[in-house]
Structure 1
């Protein structure tokens, strides 16, 4: 896959410099060739991920940007990306793979939890956040991800104590992990393995969140 991703980087770099409809249509055949290659690559990752987790679906995201509500009116994304959703309702969380020249990364977690799930997570953390802290503090986590990321409130959510010792976790609106790759790492023969290793390192975090979101505050299954 090295040559394919190298040519993919080359195409995406050119697209970034010529992000307009005329250039895109003139080079449509190149886009279609690279899109076919990247879909095959994402499919390979999906097949490998199926060996370690139960994946409900893979979604390859479109190259076209939705500019209706954006100040940035460039019509195309400068990257290819795919998401891999775990089987609900018992398995929660999703994996994400982003291929972009000088900005390739994997991610995973809970980007936009609905208000019920977010409240359930916050209540759990307000009772006891030690299990989550242990997971994100282990070397098996830190070897791949520097920290638990995500947008957060500036203060405590309504009905939560702003002086709570775990307020840094409670005030989060997203719970996400990411790992960046250099172009050299992407083009290396071990890139596939590093993607799967990164996804595997997310599992304890996913399993914790799945347990929380599939039970009530007494730990009783809601399904």
Structure 2
């Protein structure tokens, strides 16, 4: 029960109307959880702990200004009629003979996201609430059916309801210069614990206009996981090379960064090897070519994760470390752009599932490092010896 304020010794003769407000600045519960979900965990940057004193003062100042405005409103005449703002509801788009289906998105859903990007305001969304609800329902049904394909590709992914996989559309704008209240895209993430949790995930992003993509991995992992990943890079470099050089994985995610023609390069190397064999050179230059090809995949992976990578080598590692570019990373993700119409095609989910399948060994590998199972601890011993890491490769690949 709140403590009562002691009565004043001086009686004020002027009658004052008591405010109906309980408190102008209620105390925030320690159990409060932000409503805005993380985008690949990007919204962690807006946590209160990371805000500067200036930002916090600005928030407090805004609260005081809000309280002052509220007190002025209370002092107005109570008999004054409240002002009502009428928002005309827009008519829903025509279906044009195309019904909504669970296995693909309707073109109206993509059109809604385009309109939201151009009219990212609360008033606009309220007036288009019907279109928003219809688009959101379409996205939820698409995600629910696609979840079965994700589970077929990776049996460690549980069957979760859409609400545990889909990110909310609302943005946290407390500590950002961007005032737009909504994300102009739909997104979802599948991991062993849904969109949240410590596990590497598969991520799907729908943003019409050339910004749709599918990817996965660990985005902004905590410091403990980054340390485990760096230790793995240092102690088991051959495993990283095997995973990042998987042909299907490399063809799906590194084709553009490695020149865009992996198949053509492979044919050229085969011709060069056959010529060397005919000339009596045996396998001369084979190990050098193999090593160069492996390093190209590592460079492509590091180049795709430079958004918050360290500028210099991390503490405890040599500056001339063989894999210093990997050691600098603080994100461990891959991604590939997809066309907008892949979501409206009859075979769209199958095409997206093929990307998931190419990513499964990579996601499994990351999870074994950051969240190892008890039965897999013996498999995490350090690589020993030199060479290209072919020894024991068959046995390791079976585990994937």
* TM-score under structure 1 length normalisation: 0.89
Aligned-residue offset at 1:3:
7.3
Deviates more, 1:16-25 or 1:123-132: 123-132
Aligned-residue offset at 1:198:
0.9
Aligned-partner Cα distance in 1 for 2:325–2:233:
10
- 1:152 aligns to what? 309
Taking only aligned residues, the RMSD between alpha carbons, in angstroms, comes to 2.3
Q: Does 1:141 align with 2:242?
A: no
Aligned-residue offset at 1:199:
1.1
Structural mapping, 1:1-223, within 5 Å: 1=101, 4-53=105-154, 54-56=156-158, 57=160, 58-86=164-192, 92-102=199-209, 103-146=211-254, 147-148=300-301, 149-150=304-305, 151-213=308-370, 214=372, 219=380
Deviations, residues 170-219 of structure 1 (Å, cap 9, x unaligned): 11001001011112333332210121111111111122222323167983
Deviates more, 1:209-218 or 1:66-75: 209-218
Aligned-partner Cα distance in 1 for 2:105–2:362:
33
Cα 1:78–1:118, aligned 2, differ >3 Å: closer, same or farther?
A: same
User: When the two structures are aligned, how many residues end up with a matched partner?
Assistant: 218
Cα 1:3–1:188, aligned 2, differ >3 Å: closer, same or farther?
A: closer
Aligned-partner Cα distance in 1 for 2:123–2:227:
47
Aligned-partner Cα distance in 2 for 1:187–1:162:
49
The alignment partner of 2:253 has SS state of coil
Aligned-partner Cα distance in 2 for 1:173–1:3:
35
Gaps in structure 1 of 5+ consecutive residues:
none
Q: Considering only CA atoms, is the larger Rg found in Structure 1 or Structure 2? A: 2
Cα 1:204–1:46, aligned 2, differ >3 Å: closer, same or farther?
A: same
Gaps in structure 2 of 5+ consecutive residues:
1-100, 255-299, 382-400
Deviates more, 1:150-159 or 1:205-214: 205-214
Aligned-partner Cα distance in 2 for 1:3–1:193:
11
Aligned-partner Cα distance in 2 for 1:19–1:116:
37
The alignment partner of 2:217 has SS state of strand
Aligned-residue offset at 1:92:
3.6
Aligned-partner Cα distance in 1 for 2:354–2:380:
30
Cα 1:218–1:192, aligned 2, differ >3 Å: closer, same or farther?
A: closer
Deviates more, 1:150-159 or 1:91-100: 91-100
Aligned-residue offset at 1:49:
1.2
Q: In proportion to residue count, which structure has more strand?
A: 1
Higher RCO, 1 vs 2 (CA within 8 Å, ≥6 residues apart)? 1
The alignment partner of 1:208 has SS state of helix
